[in-house]
Structure 1
Amino acid sequence: MTLRQFEYLVTVVDEGSFTRAAELLHVTQPALSHQIRALERTVGTPLLDRLPRGVRLTPAGRAWLPHARAALADADRATTAARRAAGLECGELRVAAVYSLTLGVLPPVLRRWRARHPDVRVRLFEHRHADELRAAMLDGLADVAVGPGPAGWPGFSVELGEEEFVVVLPPGSPHPDPVDLGDLADEGWVHYAPGNGLADVVDAACAARGFRPRAVVRTEQTAAAPVLAAAGLGPALVPRNVLPARFDGVVRRTDPPVRRRLVAYGHREPDPFTAAFVELLVEAGWGG
């Protein structure tokens, strides 16, 4: 059983195809199939079901996959640590976050990080939903995650503050500041696609005001929601931090406020690089 075999099978699962995985890994498809069957013989049970139009994990494969991802992530970190100790490189910081935070919160923090640690690479992993982010961190994907506070998290967690949400309306909107979401109950909304964690935020905020938002358009992209709202398609509830400094739409606070608690968290106690990055997040003072 080798890490290369782990990498091969994880890639097949992620790509959903032996053909695409072989192209990505720069190996022949027979060689890829041979290595995966060798892995299955070592494990003692099939890990993949081969289907006419792709592959899927067996129950044993589903149990195996998170451990394989964690092993590959640990191997990458071990290699980086060894090369850093040997003076071959200064390291890599792996940061995971939900999409909305990579638009507004992280860029200024990453800019400061780059100024202080120019030789440390940053690898950014983005996730649509807080649950996806939590699952990835349990698998050891990154050194630190930035997102909504995960319930019952077993590792370290540092409070960062609260992310404020605002309503974006088209120019000339008569609604006051702040605006009660209940006053927008009869309008068609710019909403987020299912699977985007912000869809849950919008639904919960509207439910608290006694209605379910009627979506006239749904978008996968967080940054698209305020643009569509400003174009007159309907109100959108968006994190304030994703709005550019110069924005044509009407921005209204909500009454009562809509906020989301954010934390930095990780699977194990932070190493010096990770601790320094978390310190920058805390210093940023963007919460509230």
Structure 2
Amino acid sequence: MELQQMRYVVAVAETSSFTRAAERCQVVQSALSHQVARLERELGARLFERTSRRVRLTPAGEAFLPAARQALDAAERARAEVAAASGELRGRLAIGTIPTVTAVDLPSALKGFHVRHPQVRITLRVGASDELAEQVRQGSLDVAFLGLPPSVRPKGVSGRVLARGELVAAVEPGHPLAGEADVDLRRLSAEVFVDYPAGTAARVQSDEAFAAAGLTREVAYEVTNADLLARLVRLGLGVGMLPAAFAPEVPGVHVIELRDPPTRVEHMIWSRSRPSPPATAFLDALEAE
């Protein structure tokens, strides 16, 4: 069993295509298919179901994939450790973040890190706090920046609180509430809302505040990113809730402060096991800023 074979399996699983996997791995498709078939013979099980329309993992493939990723990560880590022992920082740095993080100027931090350590391959993944925390626990991300309600703390990871902040309401400029300096949640609860999917950390921040006030509200539009939320608000389809520190970055909406605002806490998290040399250097750089 070879690492290259594992890379091919991971690529096929992530692209659902032998053709796209070969393009990603920069090999001809026949060579990639041959190596996957060779690995399947060695394992005594098929890893993929192949049809004319799609490629998907078999139960054996589902079982094999996490172990293959762990083996590839371990090999990457070994190379990085050897390089670090020789005074050179190289390897992979995988960062995850929510789109509304404000406690850290992440683009500038990544730019500075890249200038100082050009041999490190940086990747960035934007997603929801719940998903990012799980990816840090699984080891597919080194560091992640989350936004959580005060009642929730990340589990199974190391981390620290970066900032605490309040949410504000965002409405279209012509909305009847746009002339108000501030409103309370009771008055706001009569509005139709644009918010994140129920159960997500970004949604719970607001849901808990309304529930604590004994209020219910109608969330008619559930979205997964701040850009779409802002667009629906600008079109007058509903009221949105945004972190106060992030709201100035959203053009075309009118921001209203709340007398009894929901709050959120920004966290930076990393693996409980010893971080890789690139991750350690990145965390040290943020601490120094």
TM-score between both structures, scaled by the size of structure 1 = 0.78
Instruction: Quote the residue 2:144 is aligned against.
Output: 145
Quick one: distance in 1 between partners of 2:19 and 2:110? 40
Q: Distance in 1 between matches of 2:166 and 2:97?
A: 17
Any idea what the Cα deviations from partners look like across 1:43-88, whole Å, max 9, x if unmatched?
3333222244212222332232222223223323333343454466
Match of 1:157 in 2: 159
Task: Describe the shift of the 1:113–1:22 C-alpha distance in structure 2 as closer, same or farther (beyond 3 A).
Answer: closer
Kept in 2: contact 1:160–1:263 (CA 8 A)? yes
- Take 1:165 and 1:76, find their aligned partners in 2: how far apart are those partners? 40
Equivalent position of 1:214 in the other structure: 219
Q: 2:77–2:276: 8 Å Cα contact kept in structure 1?
A: no
Q: 1:168 Cα deviation (Å)?
A: 0.7
8 Å CA contact 2:8, 2:32 repeated in 1:
yes
Residue 190 of structure 1: aligned partner: 194
Residues 240, 4 of structure 1: CA spacing in aligned structure 2 closer, same or farther, 3 A cutoff? farther
Could you tell me how far 1:190 is from its partner in structure 2?
A: 2.6
SS in 2 for 1:261: strand
Q: Of residues 158, 170, 173 in structure 2, which corresponds to 1:171?
A: 173
Equivalent position to 1:264, from 258, 268, 272? 268
For the residue of structure 2 that corresponds to 1:223, the secondary structure is helix
| Structural mapping, 1:1-288, within 5 Å | 1-86=1-86, 93-101=93-101, 104-106=102-104, 108-111=105-108, 114-115=111-112, 118-121=115-118, 123-147=122-146, 148=148, 151-153=154-156, 155-172=157-174, 173-174=176-177, 176-192=180-196, 198-209=202-213, 210-215=215-220, 217-244=221-248, 247-267=251-271, 268-270=273-275, 274-275=279-280, 277-278=282-283
SS at match of 1:189: strand
Cα deviation, 1:208-262, whole Å, max 9, x if unaligned, reads 55324232x5544313423442443321112233333584422123343212233
CA RMSD of aligned residues (A): 3.4
Asked if 1 retains the 8 angstrom alpha-carbon contact of 2:194 and 2:222, the reply is yes
In the aligned structure 2, how far is the partner of 1:25 from the partner of 1:270? 27
Q: Deviation per CA, 1:123-182, whole angstroms, max 9, x where unpaired?
A: 2432422232123212312322221466431x4222223343221112254364543333
Q: In structure 2, what is the Cα distance between the partners aligned to 1:24 and 1:139?
A: 23
1:92·1:120 contact (CA, 8 Å) conserved in 2?
no
Query: Structure 1: how far apart are the matches of 2:126 and 2:153?
Result: 14
- The percentage of counterpart residues that share the same residue type is 32
Q: Is the 8 A contact 2:96 2:127 kept in 1?
A: no
Q: Supply the AA of the counterpart residue of 1:141.
A: S
Cα distance between partner residues in 2 of 1:55 and 1:136: 24
Q: Which runs of 5+ in 1 are unaligned?
A: none
Q: What SS does the corresponding residue of 1:96 show, helix, strand or coil?
A: strand
Instruction: Please tell me whether the aligned partners of residues 130 and 197 of structure 1 are also in contact (alpha carbons under 8 angstroms).
Output: yes
Query: Cα gap change, 1:280/1:212 in structure 2, threshold over 3 Å: closer, same or farther?
Result: farther
Q: TM-score, normalised by structure 2?
A: 0.77
Residue correspondences, number: 279
Using a 3 Å threshold, how does the CA distance of structure 1 residues 117 and 23 change in structure 2: closer, same or farther? closer
What code does the residue aligned with 1:171 have? P
**Maintained 8 Å contact 2:103/2:163:** no
Please tell me whether the aligned partners of residues 170 and 242 of structure 2 are also in contact (alpha carbons under 8 angstroms): yes
Q: Distance in 2 between matches of 1:189 and 1:133?
A: 25
CA 280–223 in structure 1, closer or farther in 2 if over 3 Å, else same: farther
1:9: Cα distance to partner?
A: 1.0
**Alignment partner of 2:183: what SS?**
coil
Alignment gaps of 5+ in structure 2? none
State whether residues 94 and 142 of structure 1, in contact with CA within 8 Å, keep that contact through their aligned partners in structure 2.
yes
